[in-house]
Chains A and B, each alone.
Chain A
């Protein structure tokens, strides 16, 4: 296979372009997609680049089809992915649910836009609930919420790897700002960095003669009896819970002596990072905590940060109306720390917004 990145190099790219390069570097075989802003350029770059490296693309008739073609391709043993946003993410919940039930190594990029409905094509953090717990299942998903183009590159590669290693549908949750803005990053060949690329393997179309070399494969996702499904769900839950500690990732700083911990995810955590620095300079003891995985959620790590700091207040700042705070509350149920929030659905949050909010609640 032709090498995508010969040597580690600096690049100045949009987030969508970064995803196309990272997917190539991760060895993705095929992308299935349907146009929607703000993810279009993932497809635009992929369709231009992929043929040079012998990779494939299909524009499907809609997102339901894009999601299910990915389900088919990964069953056939190919590293397949898709990218979508907003109403497209809604439609993809059906194939995402199939991937949860059948443990399919599906990887999807979600560039959040404003909602509900067609909303805006620009930006939000309103696809948290949908991406973590969408569908009629129990949220058996791995969801990375990126905050920079370097992370977009890193977690696209990692996302494919985690999907194939653990076989849960895996997501990179970005947003329209990250999709469209240009930022410096380092592009590298994962194997040269010592990152093992997880092997792919088919679930159907296996080699060998049926009856002689192997048994036929019968994959299914529907059961006749309540008890059968109960056993399946209990097993899935146990397996998900057992690997969750290996997957959880988070970032924190200045929590040791914090009076107030600012809890954010994704691009908003960059504003939180700036806000903490500015508040500290003004003598206000602020701390920073950011889940990188929204699913599984670093609940114990957040509880520990609260405990060791003795902080009185947890301020949740998000570009949605409480989706992230609700997720957090269910994860840290029982904590008695006072919770405050800054909800700015569908609009960006800057350090100033967080600093003002902190001052108003302290």
Chain B
């Protein structure tokens, strides 16, 4: 039997993990685990997770970890980083946590060029609370609080976080959007976002397009279709700002 390689930085007593079958969170955390291993930062990493399905990762890594409040992971990570700059802080949150309730923290930490790494999982809904509309819900998409489909007339258009952050951040910031459907690229972007913090360049942010079959009410095929054919055209993947490569990595 071939068992898939498990990152060294994963905490094995909590595996198998707690996410739903087909959930993208597990893929993001696998890529992150491999990057933590490759950069050899397990011992100085502080992993902070939000309240949202990201909270299910509170004991996911064999790294010191802390769970915060819904939307408040960014200021907690900033507090740790400002106090102990030698630590590597990773804030892990959902699109509701980052773009809605925590959006003031996202904006202000980006403007201040806080040297933290933030990973935001975009699954176009509020997963943990049962599938309500999120800032990233696509036009026409049905959710528990947009039962007749999201109407941009009354609720605006989906938030494009990386595009917005690329505008407000200064030199040294790293901003990218990845997707769980392109694993190697996802890993590369996460690695750049962490390298950027290690080198002390500035704020680092990666949005990851992810899947939520439970609340999308989709089977495997429909799930992949929604991710690749609905989400990816709306939310283009790539590096929007990077101190490492001029013009970005597309």
Q: Do A and B interact? A: yes
Residues of A in contact with B (beta carbons under 8 Å apart): 33-37, 40, 43-44, 47-48, 51, 57-59, 61-63, 87, 117-118
Q: CB-CB < 8 A to B100: which residues of A? A: 34, 61-62
Closest 8 CB pairs of A and B: A62-B101, A35-B129, A35-B132, A61-B100, A44-B144, A48-B147, A47-B145, A59-B145
* Bound form: Cα–Cα A164–B155 in Å: 29
Q: CB-CB < 8 A to A35: which residues of B? A: 96, 126, 129-130, 132, 145
Cβ of B184 < 8 Å from any Cβ of A? Answer: no
Q: Nearest B residue to A37 by beta-carbon distance?
A: B129
Query: Would B147 and A117 count as touching, CB distance under 8 A?
Result: no
Q: CB-CB < 8 A to A47: which residues of B? A: 144-147
Beyond the given A35-B96, A43-B144, A62-B100, please list 10 additional residue pairs across the A-B interface where CB-CB is below 8 A: A33-B145, A35-B126, A37-B129, A40-B130, A48-B147, A51-B148, A58-B154, A59-B132, A59-B145, A87-B69
Query: Would B132 and A43 count as touching, CB distance under 8 A?
Result: yes
Query: Would A61 and B101 count as touching, CB distance under 8 A?
Result: yes
Q: List 17 A-B contacts (CB under 8 A).
A: A35-B126, A35-B132, A35-B145, A37-B129, A37-B130, A40-B132, A40-B144, A43-B132, A44-B144, A47-B147, A57-B145, A58-B155, A59-B155, A61-B101, A61-B135, A118-B55, A118-B70
Q: CB-CB < 8 A to A57: which residues of B? A: 145
- Asked whether A44 and B145 contact (CB < 8 A) given A37-B129, A61-B103, the answer is yes
Give B96 Cβ to nearest chain A Cβ, in Å: 8
Instruction: Give the total of B residues in contact with A, Cβ under 8 Å.
Output: 23
Cβ of B90 < 8 Å from any Cβ of A? Answer: no
* Bound form: Cα–Cα A57–B155 in Å: 10
- Asked whether A59 and B133 contact (CB < 8 A) given A35-B145, A44-B144, A48-B147, the answer is yes
Query: Would B144 and A87 count as touching, CB distance under 8 A?
Result: no
Q: CB-CB < 8 A to B144: which residues of A? A: 40, 43-44, 47
* Bound form: Cα–Cα A40–B147 in Å: 13
Instruction: Report B48-96 residues with CB < 8 Å from chain A CB.
Output: 51, 55, 67, 69-71, 96
Q: CB-CB < 8 A to B101: which residues of A? A: 34, 61-63
- Asked whether A117 and B130 contact (CB < 8 A) given A44-B144, A51-B148, A59-B145, the answer is no
Q: CB-CB < 8 A to B155: which residues of A? A: 58-59
* Bound form: Cα–Cα A57–B154 in Å: 10
